[in-house]
Amino acid sequence: MSRPRILIVGAGFAGYRTARTLSRLTRGRAHITLLNPTDYFLYLPLLPQVAAGILEPRRVTVSLSDSLPDVRLVLGEAERIDLDDGTLRYTGPEGEEGSLSYDRLVLAAGSVNKLLPIPGVAEHAHGFRGLPEALYLRDHVTRQVELAASADDPEACAARCTFVVVGAGYTGTEVAAHGQMFTDAQVRKHPLRQGMRPRWMLLDVAPRVLPEMDGKLSATADRVLRQRGVDVRMGTSVKEATHDGVVLTDGEFVRTRTLVWCVGVRPDPLVESLGLPMEKGRLLVDPHLQVPGRPELFACGDVAAVPDLENPGSYTPMTAQHAWRHGKVAAENVAASLGLGGSRKPYRHRDLGFVVDLGGAKAAANPLGVTLSGVPAGAVTRGYHLAAMPGNRVRVAADWLLDAVLPRQAVQLGLVRSWSVPLDTSSPEVARVAGGPGRRADARSGPGAALAADTDGSPDEPAKGQPGSGTTQVRPGSGAAQPRSEPETAKGRPLAGPPGSGHGQLRSESETAKGRPAAATERAAATAADPVRNRPGGEPARNEPGGEPARNQPGGEPARNQPGGEPARNQPGGEAARNQPGGEAAKNQPGGEPAKNQPGGEPAKNQPGGEPAKNQPAGEPAGDQSVAASPSRPTGPDHPAPGPVKRTDAPDDSAKGDS
């Protein structure tokens, strides 16, 4: 008799506990498969300490293969579930597609950043749900303090040293508390000009910090934050986010380069595609964590609306404690449904207390209902985390000890770029990779869904701070990423071409050293010097040092679209220019087939009746030449005025300092 097949989607608190418990209960009598985008379990409560430089990233991760030896690990993300056929389609980390069959399916996909319809937030804010976001925040904060220390402008210094955290729940409170200590330690070694101090702001529309916790714990956390220098503003949030700062709901404009979004989470969009009853984005289950009418389907963790039997009429909150307990009950009930364990059990819980790490020796805790603060609370908090972690306890304790006696290392590793951790993503645990596969773009929902263009390859203009969609993502199943030139591959740079173009803009050596895109003035100067070669999506200007001479320079051959050159192919009056947005790539660009108006080829095809090209002598100037617009020439979106063109595919982040 064949062994039953159990498939678990997600290896967060709920999924990992389910897999571990099932492995113990079945003892090899079932095939257990775990589908997850990463090969590790992430202990999320200690993520703020990674961002603050206390713990190394690997300390908060547990290898799935090592800790679950009897469970088959499949790397990938679920794309589509066929409940009637009992199969699941997934996409692997390199874009390959696969299918998994099951007799029992446990959905524990977790949650993603919660989005609100606030202008500019999806483009300028970063979440805090995965390891890549924590690494990015650590690098970003370090960079801003270092740039502020060398800034001559007091306003620029103040903006770089202002860090805004939205959301005063567990995550936001801990990020602000640890962040203030982290930046204060940096400033002690590298003082800012005019004696300035880093400023952390914690915003929330709630009336108090940690509104979901006991009032005494809330008061303790509020007091510690204010004593440390955090600007706590309750009843206030962000009205609009811009490149230069944020507009608060009270009308104040705060200049900043950092916006951390910790307003909460929403269930993974995967469950929305099932067409089953939902409760506020979560899949409705019975007290046994089973989906009604689907005996083969179970759900637990953040994607499941589990009835709270201790509070009839409500559902258990989306917390790590509940997810961990869900996993154990789900595993027992799955085993019972297959005849491999005892009887089914409903999910019941009893709160044992809460802990909030506020950095250093400070914390707020109420174990077994006893309210603690200060050093005793700090000891209880760290003891709880060591006991709850499924691995790496000795390494975590060693890092805590070293942090107590040695100064922290504040360096930029540059491993995670700003564009690789967008706020609106269905996979916060995976950093976006240039040329990598899409991330369930068709399952997106919410006010930030406009950023789906970054994953599905649509030709819309990408959000600021993100690379062109046509160069960083390939739809699942395409099997290939956009080709990268040898210099880009060596430097590890993402392609950044016009949206949907599929071509990249090479970066000069000076830009590479600075780690940011060229400033608008540099692009304008480059365009004026060689308007054809320096357009987005083209090859590097050939009149740069180290390149071959420009073809319209003395000693070089004449430019193909210059007076005295060959006729232009895509001039006004003909068909749409193929190197314009919405058209095909220009055929006379590098990588395309030769233009048909080359010497020995046929005449320009797009001229009415074969008349001379309009950029020939005595004709109208070519539209891409750096000359003044003719009064008779129309201008507008379809006929842009000649001259330097501001790129829309890769925004200027030089002022922001992101790389």
Q: What is the pLDDT of residues 3-14, one digit of tens each?
A: 999 999 999 999
Rounded distance between C-alpha atoms, residue 494 and residue 105, angstroms: 37
Classify residue 57 as exposed, middle or buried by CB count within 10 Å of its CB (0-12, 13-18, 19+): middle
Exposure string of 542-557, with b = 16+ CB inside 10 Å and e = fewer, is bbbeeeeebbbeeeee
Closest CA to 76 of 455, 436, 320: 436
What element of type H or E holds 356? strand 355-357
Rounded distance between C-alpha atoms, residue 565 and residue 613, angstroms: 10
User: Does the structure show a pLDDT above 80 at 368?
Assistant: yes
* pLDDT on residue 46: 96
Lowest mean pLDDT among 71-85, 288-302, 346-360, 565-579: 565-579
- With cut-offs at 50, 70 and 90, classify the pLDDT of residue 435: low
Q: Which residue has the higher pLDDT, 522 or 310?
A: 310
Lowest mean pLDDT among 33-47, 242-256, 424-438: 424-438
Lowest mean pLDDT among 68-77, 124-133, 366-375, 521-530: 521-530
Rounded distance between C-alpha atoms, residue 217 and residue 143, angstroms: 33
Close Cβ partners of 596 (under 8 Å, ≥ 6 residues apart): 569, 587, 602, 605
User: Does the structure show a pLDDT above 70 at 612?
Assistant: no
Close Cβ partners of 602 (under 8 Å, ≥ 6 residues apart): 596
- With cut-offs at 50, 70 and 90, classify the pLDDT of residue 441: very low
* pLDDT on residue 202: 98
User: Does the structure show a pLDDT above 90 at 543?
Assistant: no
Closest CA to 198 of 143, 251, 244: 143
Q: Mean pLDDT, the chain, as a whole number?
A: 75
Token output for 130: 């995965």
Q: Which residue has the higher pLDDT, 582 or 199?
A: 199
SS3 106: strand
Rounded distance between C-alpha atoms, residue 609 and residue 428, angstroms: 56
Lowest mean pLDDT among 22-36, 261-275, 416-430, 615-629: 615-629
Token output for 518: 């060229």
* pLDDT on residue 630: 37
* pLDDT on residue 93: 92
Q: Please calculate the CA angle 302-303-305 and round it to the nearest 5 degrees.
A: 90
Lowest mean pLDDT among 33-47, 172-186, 492-506, 546-560: 492-506
User: Does the structure show a pLDDT above 90 at 535?
Assistant: no
Q: What is the pLDDT of residues 474-525, one digit of tens each?
A: 333 333 334 334 333 333 334 444 333 433 333 333 333 333 344 444 444 4
Amino acid at 236: T
On whether the CB atoms of residues 629 and 642 are closer than 8 A, the answer is yes
Region 456-463: mean pLDDT is 35
Q: Name the range with the highest mean pLDDT among 376-390, 403-417, 478-492.
A: 376-390
* pLDDT on residue 1: 58
Token output for 429: 């645990």
Lowest mean pLDDT among 11-25, 328-342, 368-382, 466-480: 466-480
User: Does the structure show a pLDDT above 80 at 646?
Assistant: no
What element of type H or E holds 355? strand 355-357
Region 359-367: mean pLDDT is 92
- With cut-offs at 50, 70 and 90, classify the pLDDT of residue 433: confident
Close Cβ partners of 561 (under 8 Å, ≥ 6 residues apart): 532, 568, 615, 622, 624, 625
* pLDDT on residue 105: 98
User: Does the structure show a pLDDT above 80 at 387?
Assistant: yes
On whether the CB atoms of residues 501 and 592 are closer than 8 A, the answer is no
Give the distance between the most distant pair of CA atoms in the chain.
92
Q: pLDDT above 90 covers what percent of the chain?
A: 54
User: Does the structure show a pLDDT above 90 at 55?
Assistant: yes
Token output for 520: 């608008």
User: Does the structure show a pLDDT above 70 at 599?
Assistant: no
